[in-house]
Structure 1
Amino acid sequence: MAKVTLMCAALAAASLTGCAGLNADVHTANPPAALQGEPTYPIARLPSQDASADHPQFEALLREELARRGFVEAAGKPAHYLLSIAYDTRPRAIGIGVGAGDCAPSDCPKPAVLFSLFGGRAYQHSLTLRFFERTSGDERYKVSAVIADRDADPTHAMPVLVKSALAKFPFDAPPDWRVKLQQDKASSVPTVISVKPQQP
């Protein structure tokens, strides 16, 4: 039994899909009632995103998930919202767990605890989506998703981050949620299993 437990913990630390499953922490801001306008948007890009080889993959995943929720991209046409995308991958210290120490508590959730038995480097991946009303410039909805793993490649975290951030759209109160996912072994496509408020 002890050997099985040790193997399970090691596998969980080595990949996105551990024995305990895959978890993401999600934080939202602004009441969901504020996101009641016509569900159309263009994506606002930063110059660094225009030059990024990874960014088109993020946008493609987001377009697909938003379309499933009735949102339509209106590139080059009048739209109600402007969508801002920010994402980041950074190394984190391995210890008892991986925290979101570089984020303000109100802006970024703490990622799920990741245990390591044999050392190595952990990574924190985060995604933040912000919906602005295009005419007024007011932020109407903001959602952030964070995961921790031992994979430095941000493209591997993209599907999990997108699925988690849009697991409920929009998320209602409370602001902090835990999204549990399962990754298909053949296709590597994550599926949301449960979405639950985090316990204070």
Structure 2
Amino acid sequence: MVKAILIGAALAAASLSGCAGLSADVHTAATANAAAVLQGERTYAISRMPSQEASADHPRFESLLTDELARQGLVETAGPSARYLLSVAYDTRPAAIGVGEKGCTPGDCGRARDAPFSLFSGRAYRHALTLRFFERASGQEVYKVSASSSDRDADPLHAMPALVKSALARFPFDAPPDWRVKLRTDKTGGVPVVTSVKPLQP
């Protein structure tokens, strides 16, 4: 039994390193024609939760996000003149490790039981980011995108550059709803660079 547990944990570690790498899974939920809805004026204001207002780390993350949104042609606007309200949610938590997986199915990568103990550099963590755009005038949600990744670093700020790049690799993502974004780290600036964006097939 002990031997079986050791083999299973080793396979889990190998699966994590092979499946995750420098990549993120992206899932979208939007109106039937998000690209058309998001045409025109692209101004937004961020709607912050009380925990974000009080967080010492949130301004660093928000700066990273607004810079990437600006590259997509979205302009942060103070006050009620913004066309969209942007809700931002992110978290980091211990991840489940899949044993013997040959691939990641959409929305189901790594949802097996946790390894019984830590091997090969310790526990794995799952990082997630969700962006939701609401029309200020109507309150209707017009676009939602989530990005998630797994690694062995518990610091969410280390994962956020890749998650932001992945969630906004296309704006908006069209059908299908599930995508795999692969990235590499730029050798000069250390900033993640998107290398491929491919749909995940069910």
TM-score (norm 1): 0.79
- What SS does the aligned partner of 1:180 have? strand
- Tell me how far apart the structure 2 counterparts of residues 74 and 152 of structure 1 sit (CA, whole Å): 33
Corresponding position of 2:60: 57
**Stretch of structure 1 that moved more, 27-36 or 153-162:** 27-36
The answer to whether the aligner puts 1:39 opposite 2:42 as a matched pair is yes
Residue matched to 2:82: 79
Alpha-carbon RMSD: 3.0
In structure 1, runs of 5+ residues without a counterpart are 1-5, 99-107
Partners of 1:193 and 1:122 in 2: how far apart? 24
- Whose radius of gyration is greater, 1 or 2? 2
Cα–Cα, structure 1 residues 112 and 172, in superposed 2: closer, same or farther, change >3 Å?
farther
Distance in 2 between residues matched to 1:81 and 1:163, nearest whole Å: 20
- Separation in structure 2 between the aligned mates of residue 97 and residue 125 of structure 1, nearest angstrom: 22
Q: Work out whether residues 24 and 112 of structure 1, in 8 Å CA contact, stay in contact via their aligned partners in 2.
A: no
1:123-174 Cα offsets, whole Å, 9 max, x none, are 0000000000001100000000000000000000010110000000110110
In the alignment, what sits opposite 1:23?
23
Q: Which one has the bigger helix percentage?
A: 2
Matched positions, count: 179
Amino acid in the other structure paired with 2:107: P
Give the match's secondary structure for 1:66.
Answer: helix
Compare 35-44 and 170-179 and name the one that shifted more. Answer: 35-44
2:20/2:149 contact within 8 Å kept: no
How far is the alpha carbon of 1:77 from its aligned partner? 4.8
Quote the residue 1:109 is aligned against: 107
Match of residue 92, structure 2, among 89, 104, 129: 89
TM-score by length of 2: 0.78
Match of 2:130 among 121, 128, 148: 128
SS in 1 for 2:69: helix
Identity of aligned residues (%): 70
CA separation of 1:158 and 1:20: change in aligned 2, threshold 3 A: closer
